[in-house]
Structure 1
Amino acid sequence: MFTRIFEWLESSRDPFPGGAAQMPPDKLVPFIIHYTRPFWPLLLASSILGGAIALIEVSLFAVLGGLVNWLSSSDPQAFFAEHGSRLVMLGGLVLIVLPLLKFFYEACVHQGLMGNFAMRTRWQAHRYVLRQSLGFFQDDFAGRVATKIMQTSVSVRQVVMIMAEVLVYVSVYFVGAVIAFAATDLRLAAPMLLWLVGYIAAVRYFIPRLREISAEQADARSVMTGRVVDSYTNIQTVKMFAHAEREDHYARDSMDTFLSTVHRQMRLVTLLTVALNLLNAFLLFSVAALAIWLWSISAVTTGAIALTVGLVLRLQGMSHWIMWEIAGLFENIGVVQDGISTLSRERTVVDELGARPLRVDHGAIEFQNVGFHYGKKGGVIQDLSLKIRPGEKIGIVGRSGAGKSTLVSLLLRFYDLEKGSILIDGQDIARVSQESLRSAIGMVTQDTSLLHRSVHDNIVYGRPEATREDAIAAAKQAHAHDFIVGLVDMKGRRGYDAHVGERGVKLSGGQRQRIAIARVLLKNAPVLILDEATSALDSEVEAAIQDSLASLMSGKTVIAIAHRLSTIAAMDRLVVMDSGAIVEEGTHDELIKSGGLYAELWARQSGGFLAREAAE
């Protein structure tokens, strides 16, 4: 029976909902409601159960006071005859009703809410952030963004659960206690109300300060994590420059900032605990003294003393718990507010409403009066127009900073144009879905980054439905099969099952490049971009895969960028860029004869490489 209840609660809400990934609201309450909406029934049930449990527990203290009175006034011989039925009912309440209520309460909380709530929030936040524009990730630490998602998902759950359960439980408990005191003698409720005033004053003084520090601490924690992850992600660079000490200082600076927030928080915590202890001492002394005095003038019974002192001792224990829950509430609110600044950002590149999939029948590309400058003054791309015929293979040449890679990023719509338009087969790429656009383009870059997954997973990434045989055939075509079969990772996985490490760090640059070429071969997209595609290959390997590259380019529209001009000299047409504009076009021979910038760059090559000059 327990298993069925657990399974029903665990599956009552889907932790991984589908549908479009929506941006959460950027205000605190709407943000929390956005992620809480599916869990309202469970939260309501847990609140009602918590309130019922609190009411029963307060009633038990009242029964305890009555029991003391029965014992003091009854004949032991006749006690069970007079009070037996009440004792049986009390036993049923303690042994059956209260445990059952607590079971359902704990099941609602632990099976229905604790796991699914945070996971659903984490999943939805991750899906939205994953679809953020490229600039979002270029402006932040990956580790910091990941930490925000993890922290915020847990904090949203804690805020809601503390408010829906703890505060309801405490409210019912305290009101019940005051009523029980007043029912015994109205004067006994006075110390409780005075204690409440002092308690609220302590909350109003300490909690806002703890909240401010918690918000600082959440941001400091995510920065600290981001810096540590940044060092680990770029460990090869750290080792190459022997900068472990420098990275120590870089990390320690953020750790010091985080630790300072911890020290300030702990000072407040100590003062808060001292204030609570003083309030609790006042409550215990005043209630006990008042109860004894009232008993001495025959205003209350001995049972009233047992009731009031017992409840006060219980409230003393609860007061620390309550304060920590309230402090936790505001701490989590601080974390959520900090997370909102990262998670509730508009995407800068979005599909328009009703965007259709791109259809590529021929592969014609046209740049029409394109302008773009990354939001800065001065144009990176200035009023550029270029037509590429279906199946044409063009090479883009220019000094570093001429705008070659920016042109490719705009074609992939990593950024939206500030002026003009880009068409593929007559379709404006701003009007089609981003996924269909990028699925129609294959790209091999100079800085090849692989996922920390198996070699097979990396090769079929562009075509997930491909078979193992398809992946092996593509690897052989890219001259990668021979080294792949010899790979072994730290868990003993071999060949195509071996994992390549974060960003593919366990492979050489040439090996990563060949896997990237295999991936694009398998994707077989109608438009192909080669951005320094063979830069990481030695001359022997490059010569070996030239036939593979020729096969890869066959029947496709190709845009190739290279500093090594000899690799693109045989293209159908070369486009020379300078300062974001096209300054020359033509074949290799035509451009050499014209004696312009291309001829100058060609003349400056040393060993086939273009001297990389900074753009003026």
Structure 2
Amino acid sequence: MMDRFLQRFENWLDPFEDEGESREDARLNRTGHLEPLPDETNRFIWHFARQAKWPLLGLLITGGLTGGIEVVMFTGVGWLVDALGQSSPETLFTDHFWLVAGLAFITLVGRSLILFLASVLEEQVVSPSFYNRIRWQSYRRLMEQTYTFFQNDFAGRLAQKVQQVGQATGDFITTVLQTFWSFVTFIVLTVTILGAIDWRMAVVLAVWALGYVWIVRNLLPRIRENGRAAAEARSVVSGRVVDAFTNILSVKLFDSDRREDSFVKEGFQNLVDTTRRMTRALTEVRTAVAVLNGFMMTGVGAVALTGWQSGSVTTGGVATALGLVLRLNQMSGWMMFNINGLVRNYGTIQDAVATVTRVPTLVDDAEAQKLVGGRGEIRYEDVTFHYGKGAGIIQNLSLTIRPGEKVGLVGRSGAGKTTLVNLLLRLYDLEGGRILIDGQDIAKVTQASLRSAIGVVTQDTSLLHRSIRDNIAYGRPGSEDGDILSAAERASAEEFIPTLRDPKGREGYDAHVGERGIKLSGGQRQRIAIARVLLKDAPILVLDEATAALDSEVEAAIQDNLTKMMQGKTVIAIAHRLSTIAAMDRLIVLDKGRVVEEGTHAELAAAGGLYASLWARQSGGLLYADTDSDAEQGAAAAE
């Protein structure tokens, strides 16, 4: 019964709602342009607080009531002590029935009800849904970043930022509204009540409060700065550890002298150093609070006792005063711990905000339309691109690929082959010129519709750590099992898939492939990737060394299926092994970002140019090795 009651509150907030998404996009469950999150820490916190204003207002109210009821209970003890002095055991309940009954009601019902409501708001509404909403919106903003953004950072570090910002922002807001506000309420009521008993007690508490504020203003900033540094150090450690685990085979094969341990240890050492700086500041704060509280308790106690001696303070007043200041001592130490947490969380938010609020540099045009599928004509018009270096990659390149034409891109490493494909996929924005698909400028259509029209198989295939079925169907969600099995068969993957079994006992198409598909061989990963593209059945097909990871027998089997798949499609193929693309309709030879030759294999082989030189080396049994620098930021490795 209690579970059903609590579940009603769990649906108050939608954990996946996004204010930065248009209502129409959300209603249709489609990808639209997301508004960036505020890049200033206070506005970032307020941005999310507004999204849960009613539950957070409830926390504010219950936080104040919690502090208030604490004061009432301690004050009630003083009233009860005076009542005991005024009545005999036989007449206590008769003389002070309403006092005793009221204190019992507050203790049994009032306090329990307030704490229950506070717990429901925090545990059922805010903690699961509100925290996740922050993480979800932060994750979506990161996913809108460019391909280069992810190339330049650790995946583990970015994941840590998403987790940290949700936890830290949620903790900061709930601590302010409940813990901090409860403490402030307790102080205000305590000063008021003790001031009514003896004004000197109020003076002592006022001086104590000023001292407490001084500590917060002057000593806690060090914790905030060190907390931010510690948060960054934790994310760096996470990134390095995940990087080592992700590339464990390379580490095992090449790191015989444990260099990876030293690299990760360096990150841990930085974390230890930043944590030590923060804990030194914490010790200073705790010591200062302990000394301040000692003076506060002694001062109030002295005033209470001297007042009792002079008759201006009753025995119950002494009990109230001592009870409140002892409780204030406990709360102040506990509150300073929470303020430390507030400051550290604020530093963590500051650190994460710099990452998750970054405005994407490659976005859809404000009036972008979906790409209208058609014949599959591709035109590069005076295209210039240099990865922001000013020169050196693609310069004023023009090229037209006719609908249904099969084109092979040939050239030395760094010639610009993979760059041309990446520009077609709009992984980067052009620095000059434009690219058209069926007359539509790809910069004016949505990225999602553009990429849905292009099927890509690369040499360096990485799969998602999900089932074989999910990986094949990734480019065409909702596919029937029959279509998935057919695509696997056409990719010559049906031989090994039934033999797969993961550590959790899942077999065949249900078996999970490990991170980046590490449980599969290179050839198996490639066949799954080819099956995925076969199932997607996009009108434009890009093959970037698509069969390079396969042995000759499997390659021959798949080549027939690829040939069938290419029928009626516009195809761009890249291969260093020229024999795999020699039968293409046309070969485009690139050198230093320019088209230097084009024609059929026979025409180019007879022309005696660059292609003929490359073909002669390969057909003569030599492995072609290019010593040019890789000007494509790692693209040559994929080529």
The CA deviation at 1:243 is 3.9
Q: Which stretches of structure 1, 4 residues or more, deviate above 4 A after TM superposition?
A: 606-610
2: CA distance, partners of 1:606 / 1:219: 53
For residues 22 and 244 of structure 1, do their structure 2 counterparts lie closer, same or farther at Cα, with a shift above 3 Å needed?
farther
SS, match of residue 530 in structure 1: strand
18-27 or 453-462, which moves further after superposition? 18-27
2: CA distance, partners of 1:540 / 1:589: 26
Instruction: Report the counterpart of residue 361 of structure 1 in structure 2.
Output: 374
1: CA distance, partners of 2:291 / 2:621: 82
SS, match of residue 545 in structure 1: helix
Q: How does 1:52-451 map to 2 (within 5 A)?
A: 52-243=65-256, 245-451=258-464
Residues 156, 235 of structure 2: 8 Å contact kept: yes
Instruction: Report the counterpart of residue 9 of structure 1 in structure 2.
Output: 9
Report Cα offsets for 1:1-24 as digits up to 9, x if no partner. Answer: 644541222100111126344321
Q: How does 1:555-594 map to 2 (within 5 A)?
A: 555-594=568-607
Report Cα offsets for 1:419-477 as digits up to 9, x if no partner. Answer: 00000000000011101100000011010111111111111111112111111111111
The percent of aligned pairs where both chains have the same amino acid is: 50
Residues 445, 531 of structure 1: 8 Å contact kept: yes
The CA deviation at 1:246 is 0.9
Residues 540, 571 of structure 2: 8 Å contact kept: yes
Are residues 1:524 and 2:537 paired? Answer: yes
The residue type paired with residue 60 of structure 1 is M
413-422 or 484-493, which moves further after superposition? 484-493
Residues 563, 609 of structure 1: 8 Å contact kept: no
305-314 or 9-18, which moves further after superposition? 9-18
2: CA distance, partners of 1:279 / 1:5: 45
The residue type paired with residue 508 of structure 1 is S
2: CA distance, partners of 1:86 / 1:282: 33
SS, match of residue 455 in structure 2: strand
Q: Which of 37, 50, 54 matches 2:63? A: 50
Residues 13, 52 of structure 2: 8 Å contact kept: yes
The residue type paired with residue 568 of structure 1 is I
Residues 510, 536 of structure 1: 8 Å contact kept: yes
For residues 608 and 544 of structure 1, do their structure 2 counterparts lie closer, same or farther at Cα, with a shift above 3 Å needed?
farther
The CA deviation at 1:63 is 1.9
Report Cα offsets for 1:549-580 as digits up to 9, x if no partner. Answer: 10111110000000001111111100000111
Residues 576, 585 of structure 1: 8 Å contact kept: yes
Q: 5+ residue gaps in structure 2?
A: 19-25, 27-31, 630-639
Instruction: Report the counterpart of residue 635 of structure 2 in structure 1.
Output: none
For residues 607 and 261 of structure 1, do their structure 2 counterparts lie closer, same or farther at Cα, with a shift above 3 Å needed?
farther
Residues 390, 556 of structure 1: 8 Å contact kept: yes
The CA deviation at 1:606 is 5.8
Q: 5+ residue gaps in structure 1?
A: none
573-582 or 294-303, which moves further after superposition? 294-303
For residues 495 and 418 of structure 1, do their structure 2 counterparts lie closer, same or farther at Cα, with a shift above 3 Å needed?
same
The residue type paired with residue 9 of structure 2 is L
Report Cα offsets for 1:223-263 as digits up to 9, x if no partner. Answer: 01000000001111111214471110010000000000111
Residues 43, 165 of structure 1: 8 Å contact kept: no
Report Cα offsets for 1:167-187 as digits up to 9, x if no partner. Answer: 221111100000110111111
Instruction: Report the counterpart of residue 45 of structure 2 in structure 1.
Output: 32
Residues 220, 343 of structure 2: 8 Å contact kept: yes
Residues 59, 174 of structure 2: 8 Å contact kept: no
Q: Structure 1-normalised TM-score?
A: 0.98
534-543 or 522-531, which moves further after superposition? 534-543
296-305 or 574-583, which moves further after superposition? 296-305
The CA deviation at 1:112 is 1.2
Instruction: Report the counterpart of residue 509 of structure 1 in structure 2.
Output: 522
2: CA distance, partners of 1:368 / 1:377: 19
The CA deviation at 1:610 is 5.5
2: CA distance, partners of 1:400 / 1:378: 17
170-179 or 458-467, which moves further after superposition? 458-467
Residues 409, 589 of structure 2: 8 Å contact kept: yes
The residue type paired with residue 126 of structure 1 is Y
Residues 565, 609 of structure 1: 8 Å contact kept: no
Residues 467, 509 of structure 2: 8 Å contact kept: yes
1: CA distance, partners of 2:553 / 2:5: 66
84-93 or 551-560, which moves further after superposition? 84-93
Residues 23, 345 of structure 1: 8 Å contact kept: yes
Instruction: Report the counterpart of residue 502 of structure 2 in structure 1.
Output: 489
For residues 129 and 31 of structure 1, do their structure 2 counterparts lie closer, same or farther at Cα, with a shift above 3 Å needed?
same
The CA deviation at 1:538 is 1.2
For residues 473 and 609 of structure 1, do their structure 2 counterparts lie closer, same or farther at Cα, with a shift above 3 Å needed?
farther
The residue type paired with residue 297 of structure 1 is S
2: CA distance, partners of 1:217 / 1:449: 33
184-193 or 418-427, which moves further after superposition? 184-193
Residues 564, 610 of structure 1: 8 Å contact kept: no
2: CA distance, partners of 1:181 / 1:596: 98
2: CA distance, partners of 1:61 / 1:478: 77
The CA deviation at 1:612 is 2.9
The CA deviation at 1:29 is 1.6
Residues 402, 615 of structure 1: 8 Å contact kept: no
For residues 266 and 551 of structure 1, do their structure 2 counterparts lie closer, same or farther at Cα, with a shift above 3 Å needed?
same
Residues 579, 615 of structure 1: 8 Å contact kept: no
The CA deviation at 1:378 is 1.3
Residues 401, 614 of structure 1: 8 Å contact kept: no
1: CA distance, partners of 2:110 / 2:271: 47
1: CA distance, partners of 2:441 / 2:392: 22
1: CA distance, partners of 2:2 / 2:71: 28
Residues 576, 598 of structure 1: 8 Å contact kept: yes
The CA deviation at 1:393 is 0.4
2: CA distance, partners of 1:470 / 1:608: 41
Q: In the comparison of the two structures, how many residue pairs are matched?
A: 616
601-610 or 478-487, which moves further after superposition? 601-610
1: CA distance, partners of 2:422 / 2:328: 64
SS, match of residue 94 in structure 1: helix
Residues 366, 388 of structure 1: 8 Å contact kept: yes
2: CA distance, partners of 1:82 / 1:490: 74
SS, match of residue 23 in structure 1: coil
